[in-house]
């Protein structure tokens, strides 16, 4: 089911040209040099060009460089930019001076030189560069005819490629606002300098919408386009990302319509047990996960979940404020983090602490699941005045939680997570929704973006003693990229 990724070839990468990663000693996994470029593409070339583009979503260690802690490139760092920044997560169970740049994210004392920003910039743009090369192959009729790939397979691969490019750009605009927009593979330094300029977020968002529309037309009406490789992006993932982009733009009617369209596919449902989405033994057999990165142990190149290794060194711990957010006896707390044993079960993929310290763990990284999507719809319903519908979804999520088998086998007391009452108070319902998203999606790298899009990040974080300022609604562009571009890439205000 899970095959070895072939090497992807890229002539010159935007990240290679402009990233502040001169000290990196290893090329990104999947990157070949120009003298290794295959001038006669095959079906394997096309397959590899798309498959390798998923890799930058992984938590695998050292996909880019070799132990580049200072430049934030050791692994994809969504957990730092989202969970630590939101104050749901602490860097470590026992605070120390190790990797102080992570602490700077927590207290908002960072500068544009902080490695966290360079890291996510590297990962997203490396993913985009690989995807652009894949798209250039898959839209070249001469190449398609010469390799003899079927129309159905070409469409599927191209649909995946457009989805992935939209996904990477969606992450970039939410972190940085205006960003360079690359739609073609780079072939020279001159070409790189031409695109080394930020374009308005609106323009990037328009491209995201175009890519998702293309992907939606190309991907088949199936939960898994290729059942032998269920990790691939699907039409359901495309519709979900369309709904999420509409949510972030506060296009409430579109959110409702798209989530309803997703529901009508009949592919997804809330699992009976809350933890099934994260259980290693139930990957791609449960009904809730819409899009995830498929970590796998023992592969070459490696594709395990390296974040589990950090857990063995005491990294990734809940803040007390996060723990206190859970209502009494809410089973989701123990399923998220086992405080007495210092295990983050959602990341480990089990509740026994297995794979803690394992840098090649098979636990997947979930990016979109159905409970998240339903809460988008609840938010949109509340904003459009359907208070009954909004409360009903919130109660659906709460009911699943209170009827889940608990992680420790204990009985859930009667009255736990009682239904929210009928209400026409929009503000109150919004507060219920904000609470439910926090405890339902804890440690899934959603919280900081939620606080920002709700416009409450400053209020929430300053009340917790964090030095959040208005300009922190956008992260700084990595200073090294600005310097290497000669100033054609500009900095966000306040940095």
CB 380 within 8 A of CB 324: no
Q: Which domain holds residue 430?
A: 220-443
Q: What Å distances lie between residue 411 and 180, 415, 416, CA to CA?
A: 53, 12, 11
The dihedrals phi and psi of 69, each to the nearest 5 degrees, come to: -60, -45
pLDDT score, position 16: 53
pLDDT score, position 18: 53
* CATH number of the domain to which 26 belongs: 1.25.40.390
Q: How far apart are CA 202 and CA 221, in angstroms?
A: 30
For residue 489, being part of any structural domain is answered with no
Query: Is residue 248 located within the same domain as residue 212?
Result: no
Strand-pair partners of 361: 305
Q: Which helix (H) or strand (E) holds 292?
A: strand 289-293
Query: Is residue 386 located within the same domain as residue 429?
Result: yes
Query: Is residue 342 located within the same domain as residue 213?
Result: no
CB 131 within 8 A of CB 164: yes
Q: How far apart are CA 343 and CA 311, in angstroms?
A: 8
Question: Could you say which of 219, 238, 258 is where a domain stops?
Answer: 219
Query: Is residue 323 located within the same domain as residue 365?
Result: yes
Number of domains, the chain: 2
For residue 83, being part of any structural domain is answered with yes
If we measure between CA atoms, which residue out of 62, 82, 69 comes closest to residue 475? 82
Q: How far apart are CA 245 and CA 209, in angstroms?
A: 8
Q: String of b and e for 422-439 (b: at least 16 CB within 10 Å)?
A: eeeeeeebbebbbebbbb
For residue 484, being part of any structural domain is answered with no
Query: Is residue 162 located within the same domain as residue 74?
Result: yes
The dihedrals phi and psi of 39, each to the nearest 5 degrees, come to: -85, -5
Strands 289-293 vs 365-369: parallel, antiparallel or unpaired: antiparallel
| Three-class DSSP category at 279 | coil
Question: Could you say which of 200, 219, 238 is where a domain stops?
Answer: 219
For residue 480, being part of any structural domain is answered with no
For residue 469, being part of any structural domain is answered with no
Query: Is residue 309 located within the same domain as residue 214?
Result: no
pLDDT score, position 9: 33
Query: Is residue 185 located within the same domain as residue 271?
Result: no
Q: How far apart are CA 120 and CA 84, in angstroms?
A: 15
CB 457 within 8 A of CB 89: no
Q: Which helix (H) or strand (E) holds 291?
A: strand 289-293
For the CA atoms of the chain, what is the radius of gyration?
Answer: 22
pLDDT score, position 187: 73
Query: Is residue 22 located within the same domain as residue 169?
Result: yes
Q: String of b and e for 223-240 (b: at least 16 CB within 10 Å)?
A: bebbeeebbbbbbbbbbb
**Which tens digit of pLDDT belongs to each residue from 413-432?**
999 999 999 999 999 999 99
List of the chain residues with pLDDT < 50: 1-13, 20-26, 29-37
Query: Is residue 341 located within the same domain as residue 388?
Result: yes
Q: Is 241 left (phi over 0), alpha (psi -120 to 50) or beta?
A: alpha
For residue 467, being part of any structural domain is answered with no
For residue 437, being part of any structural domain is answered with yes
Query: Is residue 94 located within the same domain as residue 177?
Result: yes
Question: Could you say which of 443, 466, 482 is where a domain stops?
Answer: 443
Query: Is residue 193 located within the same domain as residue 252?
Result: no
For residue 485, being part of any structural domain is answered with no
**Which tens digit of pLDDT belongs to each residue from 7-19?**
233 333 455 555 5
Query: Is residue 226 located within the same domain as residue 215?
Result: no
């Amino acid at each position: 089911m899970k095959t070895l990724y072939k090497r992807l070839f890229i002539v010159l990468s935007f990240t290679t040209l402009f990233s502040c990663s001169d000290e990196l000693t290893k090329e990104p996994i999947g990157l070949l040099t120009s003298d290794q470029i295959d001038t006669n593409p095959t079906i394997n070339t096309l397959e590899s060009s798309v498959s390798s583009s998923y890799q930058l979503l992984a938590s695998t260690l050292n996909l880019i460089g070799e132990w580049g802690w200072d430049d934030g490139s050791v692994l994809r760092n969504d957990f730092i930019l989202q969970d630590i920044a939101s104050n749901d997560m602490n860097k470590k169970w026992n605070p120390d001076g190790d990797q102080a740049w992570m602490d700077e994210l927590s207290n908002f004392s960072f500068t544009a030189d902080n490695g966290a920003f360079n890291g996510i910039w590297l990962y997203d743009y490396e993913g985009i560069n690989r995807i652009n090369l894949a798209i250039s192959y898959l839209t070249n009729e001469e190449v398609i005819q010469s390799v003899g790939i079927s129309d159905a397979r070409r469409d599927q691969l191209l649909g995946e490629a457009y989805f992935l490019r939209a996904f990477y750009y969606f992450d970039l605009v939410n972190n940085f606002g205006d960003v360079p927009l690359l739609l073609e593979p780079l072939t020279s330094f001159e070409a790189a300098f031409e695109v080394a300029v930020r374009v308005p977020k609106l323009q990037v968002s328009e491209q995201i919408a175009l890519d998702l529309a293309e992907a939606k037309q190309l991907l088949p009406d199936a939960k898994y386009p290729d059942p032998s490789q269920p990790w691939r992006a699907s039409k359901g993932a495309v519709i979900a990302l369309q709904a999420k982009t509409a949510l972030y733009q506060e296009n409430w009617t579109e959110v409702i319509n798209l989530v309803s369209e997703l529901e009508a596919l009949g592919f997804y449902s809330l699992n009976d047990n809350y933890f099934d989405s994260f259980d290693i033994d139930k990957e791609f057999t449960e009904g809730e996960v819409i899009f995830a990165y498929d970590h796998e142990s023992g592969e070459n190149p490696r594709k395990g979940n390296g974040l589990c290794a950090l857990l063995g060194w005491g990294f990734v711990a809940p803040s007390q404020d996060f723990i206190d957010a859970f209502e009494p006896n809410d089973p989701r707390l123990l399923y998220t983090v086992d405080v007495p044993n210092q295990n983050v079960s959602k990341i480990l993929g089990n509740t026994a602490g297995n794979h803690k310290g394992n840098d090649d763990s098979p636990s997947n990284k979930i990016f979109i699941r159905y409970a998240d999507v339903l809460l988008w719809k609840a938010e949109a319903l509340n904003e459009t005045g359907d208070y009954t519908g909004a409360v009903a979804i919130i109660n659906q999520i709460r009911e699943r939680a209170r009827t889940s088998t608990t992680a420790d086998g204990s009985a859930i007391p009667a009255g736990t997570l009682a239904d929210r009452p009928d209400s026409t108070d929009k503000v109150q319902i919004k507060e219920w929704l904000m609470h439910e998203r926090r405890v339902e999606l804890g440690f899934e790298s959603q919280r900081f973006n939620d606080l920002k899009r709700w416009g409450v990040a400053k209020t929430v974080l300053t009340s917790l003693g964090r030095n959040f300022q208005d300009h922190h609604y956008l992260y700084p562009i990595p200073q090294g990229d600005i310097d290497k571009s000669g100033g054609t890439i500009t900095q966000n205000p306040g940095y």
